[in-house]
Amino acid sequence: MCFGKAIKKLDVWDIGLVKFSVLFAVLWLIALFPSLAAWVVSINPWWFFVLMLVAMARPLYRAYLKKK
């Protein structure tokens, strides 16, 4: 099965649950490795904000601004 066809079967709840599973996986990794937790705490929070904006730019553009 093509990845695109599999994604089209998902509804908004499925996408939300995937997002939460990624969040919990990251929290698990941070809890599992204290050195990773120390690194996350040592980074300026604005870097994570900038990375979030960069990561969300293309999906938002394609979903709301791009004309088909």
Q: What is the pLDDT of residue 68?
A: 66
Q: Which structural domain range is residue 60 located in?
A: 43-68
Q: Does 23 lie in the same domain as 1?
A: yes
Q: What is the pLDDT of residue 1?
A: 57
Is residue 38 situated within a structural domain? no
pTM for the model stands at 0.71
- Give the span between the Cα atoms of 28 and 50, in whole angstroms: 23
Count of structural domains within the chain: 2
15-57 pLDDT tens trace: 899 999 999 999 999 999 999 999 999 999 999 999 999 999 9
Is pLDDT of 63 > 60? Answer: yes
Q: Higher confidence at residue 10 or residue 43? A: 43
Q: Does 28 lie in the same domain as 2?
A: yes
- Give the span between the Cα atoms of 4 and 20, in whole angstroms: 21
